[in-house]
Structure 1
Amino acid sequence: MTLVLHPCRKERKGAPMQKWIISVIGEDYPGITENLAQILQDNGANWLDASLRRLGDRYAGIIELELPEANAQALRRQLAELPRLSIELQRVAVKTQPSLQFQVEVIGNDRPGIVAAVTRILTSNQANIEQLESDLDTANHTGVPLFRLNILLAAADEASLDRIEQELFSLGDDLMVEYERITN
Protein backbone atom coordinates (compact mmCIF):
# COMPACT_ATOMS: atom_id res chain seq x y z
CA MET A 1 0.00 0.00 0.00
CA THR A 2 1.31 3.44 -0.91
CA LEU A 3 0.19 6.59 0.79
CA VAL A 4 0.71 9.81 -1.16
CA LEU A 5 0.06 13.18 0.45
CA HIS A 6 -0.63 16.10 -1.83
CA PRO A 7 -0.44 19.63 -0.45
CA CYS A 8 -3.68 21.47 -0.95
CA ARG A 9 -5.63 24.33 0.52
CA LYS A 10 -8.77 23.25 2.28
CA GLU A 11 -11.86 24.84 0.85
CA ARG A 12 -14.09 26.42 3.48
CA LYS A 13 -17.68 25.40 3.25
CA GLY A 14 -20.55 27.51 4.47
CA ALA A 15 -20.65 31.21 5.19
CA PRO A 16 -17.95 33.44 3.73
CA MET A 17 -15.21 34.46 6.15
CA GLN A 18 -14.87 38.10 7.16
CA LYS A 19 -11.97 39.94 8.80
CA TRP A 20 -12.24 40.74 12.50
CA ILE A 21 -9.96 42.18 15.16
CA ILE A 22 -9.93 41.20 18.82
CA SER A 23 -8.30 43.57 21.30
CA VAL A 24 -7.64 42.25 24.78
CA ILE A 25 -6.20 43.75 27.95
CA GLY A 26 -6.34 42.67 31.54
CA GLU A 27 -4.65 40.98 34.44
CA ASP A 28 -2.01 38.50 33.25
CA TYR A 29 -2.35 34.85 34.27
CA PRO A 30 -1.24 31.54 32.72
CA GLY A 31 -3.46 30.15 29.96
CA ILE A 32 -4.93 33.32 28.46
CA THR A 33 -3.56 32.70 24.96
CA GLU A 34 -4.59 29.05 25.04
CA ASN A 35 -8.12 30.03 26.14
CA LEU A 36 -8.36 32.61 23.35
CA ALA A 37 -7.10 30.12 20.74
CA GLN A 38 -9.58 27.46 21.86
CA ILE A 39 -12.55 29.85 21.82
CA LEU A 40 -11.57 31.03 18.34
CA GLN A 41 -11.28 27.45 17.11
CA ASP A 42 -14.62 26.50 18.70
CA ASN A 43 -16.30 29.32 16.75
CA GLY A 44 -14.77 28.47 13.37
CA ALA A 45 -12.32 31.37 13.36
CA ASN A 46 -9.04 31.36 11.48
CA TRP A 47 -6.23 33.04 13.49
CA LEU A 48 -4.27 35.24 11.03
CA ASP A 49 -1.97 37.68 12.78
CA ALA A 50 -1.37 38.69 16.37
CA SER A 51 0.71 40.75 18.72
CA LEU A 52 0.34 39.56 22.31
CA ARG A 53 2.53 40.47 25.26
CA ARG A 54 2.89 41.06 28.93
CA LEU A 55 3.32 44.69 29.96
CA GLY A 56 3.99 44.99 33.69
CA ASP A 57 1.33 42.82 35.28
CA ARG A 58 -1.06 43.23 32.29
CA TYR A 59 -1.73 40.99 29.31
CA ALA A 60 -2.35 43.02 26.16
CA GLY A 61 -2.81 42.14 22.54
CA ILE A 62 -4.49 42.32 19.20
CA ILE A 63 -5.51 39.35 17.08
CA GLU A 64 -6.59 39.52 13.43
CA LEU A 65 -8.83 36.68 12.37
CA GLU A 66 -11.33 35.48 9.81
CA LEU A 67 -14.75 34.52 11.11
CA PRO A 68 -18.16 33.84 9.61
CA GLU A 69 -20.38 36.77 10.60
CA ALA A 70 -23.00 34.30 11.84
CA ASN A 71 -20.55 33.19 14.57
CA ALA A 72 -19.71 36.69 15.84
CA GLN A 73 -22.33 36.87 18.62
CA ALA A 74 -21.44 33.45 20.03
CA LEU A 75 -17.77 34.42 19.95
CA ARG A 76 -18.51 37.69 21.78
CA ARG A 77 -20.39 35.82 24.50
CA GLN A 78 -17.60 33.30 25.05
CA LEU A 79 -14.89 35.98 25.09
CA ALA A 80 -16.88 37.95 27.69
CA GLU A 81 -16.75 34.93 30.00
CA LEU A 82 -12.94 35.01 30.24
CA PRO A 83 -12.06 36.26 33.74
CA ARG A 84 -10.21 39.53 34.50
CA LEU A 85 -10.00 40.60 30.84
CA SER A 86 -11.53 43.38 28.79
CA ILE A 87 -12.06 42.10 25.25
CA GLU A 88 -13.52 43.81 22.20
CA LEU A 89 -14.38 42.22 18.84
CA GLN A 90 -14.70 44.46 15.78
CA ARG A 91 -15.28 43.70 12.13
CA VAL A 92 -12.78 45.39 9.81
CA ALA A 93 -12.67 46.08 6.10
CA VAL A 94 -9.83 44.61 4.11
CA LYS A 95 -7.35 47.37 3.32
CA THR A 96 -5.22 47.39 0.22
CA GLN A 97 -1.46 47.40 0.72
CA PRO A 98 0.08 50.85 0.13
CA SER A 99 2.66 51.06 -2.61
CA LEU A 100 5.12 53.31 -0.74
CA GLN A 101 6.30 52.05 2.61
CA PHE A 102 9.15 53.02 4.84
CA GLN A 103 10.63 51.13 7.82
CA VAL A 104 12.02 53.58 10.40
CA GLU A 105 14.07 52.79 13.50
CA VAL A 106 14.88 55.54 15.99
CA ILE A 107 17.34 54.77 18.79
CA GLY A 108 18.59 57.13 21.46
CA ASN A 109 18.99 57.93 25.11
CA ASP A 110 15.57 57.73 26.69
CA ARG A 111 13.83 61.04 27.26
CA PRO A 112 10.23 62.25 27.17
CA GLY A 113 8.90 63.39 23.80
CA ILE A 114 10.63 61.09 21.31
CA VAL A 115 7.40 59.43 20.13
CA ALA A 116 5.58 62.78 20.02
CA ALA A 117 8.31 64.36 17.88
CA VAL A 118 8.49 61.44 15.44
CA THR A 119 4.72 61.11 15.04
CA ARG A 120 4.38 64.89 14.57
CA ILE A 121 6.74 64.63 11.59
CA LEU A 122 4.78 61.71 10.15
CA THR A 123 1.43 63.45 10.55
CA SER A 124 2.65 66.71 9.04
CA ASN A 125 3.72 64.73 5.96
CA GLN A 126 0.43 62.83 5.67
CA ALA A 127 2.08 59.47 6.46
CA ASN A 128 0.08 56.68 8.05
CA ILE A 129 1.54 54.43 10.74
CA GLU A 130 0.94 50.82 9.73
CA GLN A 131 2.77 49.37 12.74
CA LEU A 132 4.58 50.86 15.73
CA GLU A 133 6.66 49.05 18.34
CA SER A 134 8.90 50.46 21.03
CA ASP A 135 10.96 49.21 23.90
CA LEU A 136 13.26 50.46 26.60
CA ASP A 137 16.61 48.75 27.05
CA THR A 138 19.93 49.54 28.68
CA ALA A 139 22.98 50.63 26.70
CA ASN A 140 25.66 47.92 26.92
CA HIS A 141 28.64 49.91 28.20
CA THR A 142 27.03 52.84 29.98
CA GLY A 143 23.90 51.38 31.58
CA VAL A 144 21.96 54.42 30.35
CA PRO A 145 18.30 53.78 29.41
CA LEU A 146 18.10 53.37 25.64
CA PHE A 147 14.79 53.92 23.81
CA ARG A 148 14.07 52.12 20.54
CA LEU A 149 11.15 52.94 18.23
CA ASN A 150 10.31 50.89 15.13
CA ILE A 151 7.66 52.15 12.72
CA LEU A 152 6.31 50.80 9.46
CA LEU A 153 4.67 53.71 7.67
CA ALA A 154 2.89 54.36 4.40
CA ALA A 155 3.27 57.60 2.49
CA ALA A 156 1.39 59.12 -0.41
CA ASP A 157 4.40 59.73 -2.66
CA GLU A 158 8.20 59.80 -2.94
CA ALA A 159 8.34 63.49 -2.02
CA SER A 160 6.64 62.75 1.31
CA LEU A 161 9.17 60.00 2.04
CA ASP A 162 12.02 62.39 1.24
CA ARG A 163 10.65 65.09 3.56
CA ILE A 164 10.08 62.57 6.34
CA GLU A 165 13.65 61.31 6.01
CA GLN A 166 15.11 64.84 6.24
CA GLU A 167 12.91 65.89 9.16
CA LEU A 168 13.69 62.74 11.15
CA PHE A 169 17.41 63.44 10.85
CA SER A 170 16.80 66.94 12.22
CA LEU A 171 15.49 65.59 15.55
CA GLY A 172 18.89 65.83 17.21
CA ASP A 173 22.35 64.39 17.51
CA ASP A 174 21.36 62.18 20.46
CA LEU A 175 19.03 60.11 18.24
CA MET A 176 20.14 57.66 15.60
CA VAL A 177 17.66 57.24 12.74
CA GLU A 178 17.84 54.33 10.34
CA TYR A 179 15.38 53.86 7.53
CA GLU A 180 14.66 51.53 4.67
CA ARG A 181 12.30 52.10 1.81
CA ILE A 182 10.18 49.05 1.12
CA THR A 183 9.08 48.50 -2.44
CA ASN A 184 6.19 46.29 -3.43
Structure 2
Amino acid sequence: MNTVVISFIADDKPGLVNLISTTVSQHDGNWLESSLSHLAGKFAGVVVVQISAEKAEALIGSLKALSDKGIRLNAEIASSGATEVEYRAATLDLIGHDKPGIVRDISNTLAQMGVNLAKLTTEITPGSMSSELLFKAQGQLQIPTTTDIHDLQDAIERLASDLMVDIEIE
Protein backbone atom coordinates (compact mmCIF):
# COMPACT_ATOMS: atom_id res chain seq x y z
CA MET A 1 0.00 0.00 0.00
CA ASN A 2 1.06 3.57 -0.70
CA THR A 3 0.19 6.76 1.07
CA VAL A 4 -0.64 9.72 -1.16
CA VAL A 5 -0.65 13.26 0.24
CA ILE A 6 -2.93 15.65 -1.65
CA SER A 7 -2.97 19.42 -1.25
CA PHE A 8 -5.42 21.63 -3.07
CA ILE A 9 -6.93 25.11 -3.32
CA ALA A 10 -9.93 26.41 -5.25
CA ASP A 11 -12.51 29.15 -5.20
CA ASP A 12 -14.96 28.06 -2.51
CA LYS A 13 -18.11 26.47 -3.89
CA PRO A 14 -20.28 23.46 -3.02
CA GLY A 15 -19.05 20.07 -4.21
CA LEU A 16 -15.26 20.45 -4.03
CA VAL A 17 -14.78 17.77 -1.38
CA ASN A 18 -17.19 15.53 -3.28
CA LEU A 19 -15.12 15.84 -6.48
CA ILE A 20 -11.93 14.85 -4.69
CA SER A 21 -13.47 12.10 -2.55
CA THR A 22 -15.27 10.59 -5.55
CA THR A 23 -12.01 10.51 -7.50
CA VAL A 24 -10.29 8.80 -4.56
CA SER A 25 -13.12 6.24 -4.29
CA GLN A 26 -13.09 5.53 -8.05
CA HIS A 27 -9.47 4.36 -7.63
CA ASP A 28 -10.25 2.29 -4.52
CA GLY A 29 -8.40 4.72 -2.28
CA ASN A 30 -9.12 5.11 1.41
CA TRP A 31 -9.42 8.70 2.74
CA LEU A 32 -7.49 8.51 6.04
CA GLU A 33 -7.22 12.04 7.37
CA SER A 34 -7.60 15.61 6.23
CA SER A 35 -7.49 19.24 7.18
CA LEU A 36 -9.86 21.43 5.16
CA SER A 37 -10.53 25.15 5.55
CA HIS A 38 -12.42 28.06 4.06
CA LEU A 39 -10.04 31.06 4.05
CA ALA A 40 -10.51 34.41 2.28
CA GLY A 41 -13.02 33.07 -0.25
CA LYS A 42 -10.88 30.05 -1.07
CA PHE A 43 -11.22 26.45 0.04
CA ALA A 44 -7.96 24.69 0.76
CA GLY A 45 -6.98 21.37 2.18
CA VAL A 46 -4.55 18.58 2.73
CA VAL A 47 -5.73 14.98 2.49
CA VAL A 48 -3.95 11.70 3.21
CA VAL A 49 -5.11 8.71 1.19
CA GLN A 50 -4.07 5.06 1.34
CA ILE A 51 -4.10 3.22 -1.98
CA SER A 52 -2.58 0.14 -3.59
CA ALA A 53 0.79 0.74 -5.22
CA GLU A 54 -0.60 -0.28 -8.63
CA LYS A 55 -3.32 2.41 -8.53
CA ALA A 56 -1.40 5.33 -6.98
CA GLU A 57 -0.14 6.93 -10.21
CA ALA A 58 -3.56 6.63 -11.88
CA LEU A 59 -5.15 8.32 -8.87
CA ILE A 60 -2.62 11.15 -9.01
CA GLY A 61 -3.29 11.64 -12.73
CA SER A 62 -7.06 11.74 -12.20
CA LEU A 63 -6.72 14.18 -9.31
CA LYS A 64 -4.56 16.51 -11.37
CA ALA A 65 -7.20 16.41 -14.14
CA LEU A 66 -9.53 18.18 -11.69
CA SER A 67 -7.76 21.39 -12.71
CA ASP A 68 -10.44 21.54 -15.44
CA LYS A 69 -12.90 22.12 -12.58
CA GLY A 70 -10.84 24.99 -11.11
CA ILE A 71 -9.01 22.97 -8.47
CA ARG A 72 -5.28 23.61 -8.22
CA LEU A 73 -3.92 20.40 -6.78
CA ASN A 74 -0.66 18.67 -5.95
CA ALA A 75 -0.44 14.98 -5.06
CA GLU A 76 2.63 13.01 -4.07
CA ILE A 77 3.38 9.52 -2.86
CA ALA A 78 4.75 9.81 0.67
CA SER A 79 8.17 8.32 1.23
CA SER A 80 8.33 5.61 3.83
CA GLY A 81 12.07 5.87 4.40
CA ALA A 82 11.94 8.79 6.84
CA THR A 83 14.25 8.56 9.82
CA GLU A 84 12.29 8.04 12.99
CA VAL A 85 12.98 10.55 15.75
CA GLU A 86 11.49 10.08 19.18
CA TYR A 87 9.29 13.03 20.12
CA ARG A 88 7.25 14.11 23.08
CA ALA A 89 4.05 15.94 22.24
CA ALA A 90 3.27 19.42 23.53
CA THR A 91 0.79 22.17 22.78
CA LEU A 92 1.55 25.82 22.13
CA ASP A 93 -0.87 28.62 22.96
CA LEU A 94 -0.11 32.22 22.04
CA ILE A 95 -2.04 35.45 22.35
CA GLY A 96 -0.90 39.01 21.82
CA HIS A 97 -1.44 42.18 19.84
CA ASP A 98 -1.28 41.50 16.13
CA LYS A 99 1.83 42.56 14.24
CA PRO A 100 3.77 41.22 11.26
CA GLY A 101 6.36 38.51 11.87
CA ILE A 102 4.89 36.59 14.81
CA VAL A 103 4.65 33.25 12.96
CA ARG A 104 8.10 33.78 11.42
CA ASP A 105 9.69 34.42 14.81
CA ILE A 106 7.96 31.51 16.55
CA SER A 107 8.74 29.04 13.77
CA ASN A 108 12.35 30.22 13.66
CA THR A 109 12.84 29.72 17.40
CA LEU A 110 11.21 26.28 17.30
CA ALA A 111 13.28 25.21 14.29
CA GLN A 112 16.50 26.33 15.98
CA MET A 113 15.59 24.11 18.93
CA GLY A 114 14.84 21.15 16.62
CA VAL A 115 11.11 21.27 17.42
CA ASN A 116 8.67 20.21 14.73
CA LEU A 117 5.53 22.33 14.36
CA ALA A 118 3.11 19.52 13.47
CA LYS A 119 -0.03 21.69 13.33
CA LEU A 120 -0.73 25.40 13.61
CA THR A 121 -4.02 27.26 13.71
CA THR A 122 -4.06 31.06 13.81
CA GLU A 123 -6.72 33.73 13.89
CA ILE A 124 -7.18 37.46 14.40
CA THR A 125 -9.88 38.49 16.88
CA PRO A 126 -10.93 41.83 18.36
CA GLY A 127 -9.77 42.44 21.93
CA SER A 128 -12.49 42.14 24.55
CA MET A 129 -11.70 45.49 26.21
CA SER A 130 -10.49 47.42 23.17
CA SER A 131 -10.82 47.57 19.43
CA GLU A 132 -7.21 46.40 18.99
CA LEU A 133 -6.76 43.16 17.10
CA LEU A 134 -5.34 40.15 18.91
CA PHE A 135 -3.35 37.40 17.24
CA LYS A 136 -4.08 33.94 18.58
CA ALA A 137 -2.22 30.75 17.71
CA GLN A 138 -2.56 27.17 18.81
CA GLY A 139 -0.11 24.54 17.74
CA GLN A 140 0.86 20.96 18.22
CA LEU A 141 4.57 20.51 18.76
CA GLN A 142 6.81 17.50 18.46
CA ILE A 143 9.80 18.05 20.74
CA PRO A 144 12.71 15.64 20.22
CA THR A 145 13.45 13.71 23.41
CA THR A 146 17.04 14.94 23.02
CA THR A 147 15.96 18.61 23.30
CA ASP A 148 16.51 20.13 26.74
CA ILE A 149 13.04 21.29 27.79
CA HIS A 150 14.48 24.02 30.04
CA ASP A 151 16.47 25.48 27.12
CA LEU A 152 13.32 25.43 25.00
CA GLN A 153 11.30 27.13 27.74
CA ASP A 154 14.01 29.83 28.11
CA ALA A 155 14.01 30.47 24.34
CA ILE A 156 10.20 30.72 24.29
CA GLU A 157 10.18 33.11 27.26
CA ARG A 158 12.75 35.39 25.55
CA LEU A 159 10.66 35.31 22.38
CA ALA A 160 7.45 36.13 24.27
CA SER A 161 9.18 39.10 25.87
CA ASP A 162 10.56 40.34 22.53
CA LEU A 163 7.18 39.98 20.79
CA MET A 164 5.20 41.20 23.81
CA VAL A 165 2.87 38.20 23.64
CA ASP A 166 1.90 35.43 26.03
CA ILE A 167 3.18 31.99 25.00
CA GLU A 168 2.57 28.76 26.88
CA ILE A 169 3.93 25.33 26.05
CA GLU A 170 2.38 22.41 27.88
State which of 44, 53, 76 in structure 2 corresponds to 1:69: 53
Cα contact 1:39–1:79 (8 A) shared by 2: yes
CA distance in 1, matches of 2:58, 2:85: 31
In the other structure, the counterpart of 1:174 is: 164
Structure having the higher helix fraction is 2
State which of 35, 52, 58 in structure 1 corresponds to 2:42: 58
1:133 aligns with 2:121: yes
CA distance in 2, matches of 1:57, 1:97: 38
TM-score where L is the length of structure 2: 0.86
Bigger Cα displacement from structure 2, 136-145 vs 150-159: 150-159
The structure-2 alpha-carbon separation of the partners of 1:21 and 1:54, relative to structure 1 and needing over 3 Å to count, comes to same
Identity %: 21
The higher radius of gyration belongs to 1
1:1-184 matches, within 5 Å, as: 17-82=1-66, 83-94=69-80, 98-157=86-145, 159-170=147-158, 171-172=160-161, 174-180=164-170
CA deviations over 1:30-84 (Å, ceiling 9, x no partner): 1101111111111111111111111112211100110112112321232223211
CA distance in 1, matches of 2:17, 2:115: 33
Letter in 1 for 2:90: F
Report the Cα offset of residue 158 of structure 1. 5.9
CA RMSD, 1 decimal: 2.0
CA distance in 2, matches of 1:50, 1:153: 18
Structure 1 alignment gaps of length 5 or more? 1-16
The structure-2 alpha-carbon separation of the partners of 1:159 and 1:131, relative to structure 1 and needing over 3 Å to count, comes to same
Report the Cα offset of residue 179 of structure 1. 1.7
Structure 2 alignment gaps of length 5 or more? none
